[in-house]
Structure 1
Amino acid sequence: MNHNHLVFGAGLIGCYLGGAIALSGQSVRLLCRAKIQKNLQDGIKLTDYLGHQALINSIQFCQAIEQGATPFGIIWLTVKCTDVATACEQMQCFVDTHTRIICCQNGLGSEQIVKQAFPHNQVLRAMVPFNVVEMDKGHFHRGSAGTLTIESDNCEEQFVEQLIAQINSDLLPVESSADMDSLLWAKLQLNLGNSVNALADIPVKAMLEQRGYRLVVAGLMKELLAVTKAKNIVLPKVTAVPAQLIPYILRLPNILFKRVANQMLAIDPNVKTSMWWDLSRGKATEIDHLNGAVVQAGDRLNISCPANQKIISLIKSIQHGEVNAPKRPISAEQLYQLVFSEQN
């Protein structure tokens, strides 16, 4: 069965996702900013770190508000957490009772906004584990490993498996999960490094090659693991290494880290995180939905998360242009001192 898809808020991830869905023969339209649409007039080129590539010569678009718009069968919501509420208002004309909405946000909890806006629709979560960079106009490159995972429950299991069979490909590996809560906490553990990358102001691979930055990320993860343990959440493996071992590996000296962390370093050298892009462009970041989610959960459990709280403070001070905000790039040594000096 061929579904009509709308990728709503197509940025880096959304354009890559839309292009990959189009390759599968599905009907897909993108809703994106005018500048992005202009860059896609000649189509989309997709590549990945494994050498796969494809060209989509023609891309269909739609506008945020269309008179007499035809509802879509599937809407992939790819906006940032901070834009979900606004997106729900703009999506109204594209939704009917049969529309399924797939939320592709980082962090925790933003799907509740969608469920409140569309209480009669099936709302599913998706976990996007890979990074995408735009190498040139219309050329989107998946720079790291990972499988797009879509939430599956008893009601939607058949639909989700059918969808996966239709869109799964080398460029877009897809699978399902019946336990998205645990999976999203595991993804959140990895996303805690987004804020460090934004403060370091360098590509992710270069950041991971410096032990000082890794020590900060390990400290953030340690607090998350304390929270998930208290919540009795068993984190699934989303990398080759079990969640509990990742902080130990990050703390290794550089020479040992490079020997045992080949997959962590199997990242395109150009990749930077979405929070780096937001902070660099003066936009609101997703810090409250990432590190903030750890702090909020810790507060409810009476578990202190001072490293995550300090990182939140640093990001917001830069974001708001405060006089005493540190200047980027923040070196590994300086960031370590800023995060942990008060704890020692």
Structure 2
Amino acid sequence: MKICVLGAGALGCAIGGVLAEAGCAVTLVTRNAAQVAAIERNGLRLVENGRERSVIVRAVTDSATLEVMDVVIVLVKSFHTRQAIESARSIVGPGTVVLSLQNGLGHEDILAEVVGREKVLAGKTYVGGVLLAPGHILVGTAGKETVVGELDGSRSPRAKAIRDEFLRAGLRTALSDNIVGVMWDKLLVNVSTGALSSITRLTYGELYKVEEVETCALAAVAEAMAVARACGVALATREPRDAWLKAAEGLPDDFKTSMLQSLEKGSATEIDFINGAVVRWGHRCGVPTPINQTLVAGIKGIEHHMRLQAA
């Protein structure tokens, strides 16, 4: 199976590297030239459970040079989704599946507008990745599930084939006939830790030691659950604490949320697709979301401060 990971940051390299190690024909695409150069020079260095290994995998900065792929896994930052898939049109053929494993809500609609809804598969992953240096990734896969599914709820052969390929690579993967619910369940996990870790600058290990942070996280998740239910979404998550605990499950204490990693690199976050999505859906369904609105405001303030410093 020829797989392109569109957006080979920390998470894209973690998933792409594991798939390549299992024998998949993987190509990593990233605009980060230093990342590509490091992978070409030393292989992709993956650190997991205190051990490091090197994986040989193709990496490029421009997807226009590539052949048509069987699967395009989209893992770019949410705000780059349209630009990334438009630039990758040449690798999307009649039988290509475009699978989003991005955080938050709304990516599938953007992808469908560009390549057609019939090519789009939805998914969510709890796999973690932290960029230690170019081409050097801290990986968290133990016990971390990935879920894929058709937007119409069918259990298609193509979805099963992708699930089986992930399983063969040792990635715990399931097929869902309620992928919208799965997307919301993952959103709840991101809602619980992303903004709060970014505002406090705390790693997972430290975040869970502050009682007031936990109280705020549970309130934010409770709001999001109320929004989902009001919008008719069937959730597997039963209690806000379930999402809070799942966020750090199996991850080392020094792991950082992707949102915090973005801020530390001086880049914009995906807040509009995470807590911001809860606020938007809340408006649609008439459910108040003051906690999530406050978290969005906090992150927007930090981003504004970064822009002022960079000016």
- TM-score under structure 1 normalisation? 0.80
Quote the residue 1:313 is aligned against. 297
Which stretch of the first structure deviates more once superposed, 90-99 or 226-235? 226-235
SS at match of 1:29: strand
Give the distance between the partners of 1:262 and 1:105, measured in 2 at CA. 17
Q: Does 1:16 align with 2:10?
A: no
Question: How is 1:20-31 mapped onto 2 (pairs within 5 angstroms)?
Answer: 20-31=18-29
Structure 1 residues 150 and 65: alpha-carbon distance in aligned structure 2, compared to 1, 3 A threshold: closer
- After superposition, the C-alpha distances for 1:273-321 in whole angstroms (9 at most, x for unaligned) are 1111222223121111101111111111211110110111111011012
Q: Is residue 279–residue 292 contact of structure 2 (8 Å, CA) maintained in 1?
A: yes
Quote the residue 1:202 is aligned against. 202
Q: Is residue 188–residue 243 contact of structure 2 (8 Å, CA) maintained in 1?
A: no
Q: Is residue 97–residue 121 contact of structure 1 (8 Å, CA) maintained in 2?
A: no
The CA deviation at 1:98 is 1.5
Paired amino acid for 2:16: G
More helix by share: 2
Question: How is 1:117-266 mapped onto 2 (pairs within 5 angstroms)?
Answer: 117-119=114-116, 121-135=118-132, 137-143=134-140, 145-152=143-150, 157-169=156-168, 171-192=170-191, 193-236=193-236, 243-247=237-241, 264=248, 266=250
Structure 1 residues 70 and 148: alpha-carbon distance in aligned structure 2, compared to 1, 3 A threshold: same
The CA deviation at 1:160 is 2.1
- Name structure 1 gaps, 5 residues minimum: 237-242, 251-260, 325-344
Which stretch of the first structure deviates more once superposed, 220-229 or 192-201? 220-229
Q: Does 1:287 align with 2:271?
A: yes
- After superposition, the C-alpha distances for 1:252-291 in whole angstroms (9 at most, x for unaligned) are xxxxxxxxx6994642111111111222223121111101
Q: Name the larger-Rg structure.
A: 1
Give the distance between the partners of 2:267 and 2:286, measured in 1 at CA. 32
Quote the residue 1:336 is aligned against. none
SS at match of 1:73: strand
Quote the residue 2:254 is aligned against. 270
The CA deviation at 1:17 is 1.2
Give the distance between the partners of 1:265 and 1:20, measured in 2 at CA. 20
Structure 1 residues 137 and 293: alpha-carbon distance in aligned structure 2, compared to 1, 3 A threshold: closer
SS at match of 2:256: coil
Give the distance between the partners of 1:9 and 1:85, measured in 2 at CA. 12
Give the distance between the partners of 1:101 and 1:88, measured in 2 at CA. 9
- After superposition, the C-alpha distances for 1:87-124 in whole angstroms (9 at most, x for unaligned) are 02211121121211111111111111110001175111
- Name structure 2 gaps, 5 residues minimum: none
Which stretch of the first structure deviates more once superposed, 279-288 or 150-159? 150-159
Q: Does 1:298 align with 2:282?
A: yes
Quote the residue 1:331 is aligned against. none
Which stretch of the first structure deviates more once superposed, 131-140 or 287-296? 131-140
- TM-score under structure 2 normalisation? 0.88
Q: Does 1:75 align with 2:72?
A: yes
Give the distance between the partners of 1:263 and 1:11, measured in 2 at CA. 20
SS at match of 1:320: helix
Structure 1 residues 136 and 169: alpha-carbon distance in aligned structure 2, compared to 1, 3 A threshold: farther
- After superposition, the C-alpha distances for 1:152-205 in whole angstroms (9 at most, x for unaligned) are 467662222223223315752222111111011111111012000000101012
The CA deviation at 1:137 is 4.9
Give the distance between the partners of 1:248 and 1:99, measured in 2 at CA. 36
SS at match of 2:305: coil
Quote the residue 1:36 is aligned against. 35
RMSD of equivalent CA atoms: 2.7
SS at match of 2:233: coil
SS at match of 1:284: coil
Give the distance between the partners of 2:4 and 2:294, measured in 1 at CA. 38
Give the distance between the partners of 2:15 and 2:246, measured in 1 at CA. 26
Q: Name the % identity.
A: 24
Structure 1 residues 87 and 262: alpha-carbon distance in aligned structure 2, compared to 1, 3 A threshold: closer
Paired amino acid for 2:297: S
Q: Does 1:91 align with 2:83?
A: no
SS at match of 1:321: helix
Structure 1 residues 283 and 300: alpha-carbon distance in aligned structure 2, compared to 1, 3 A threshold: same
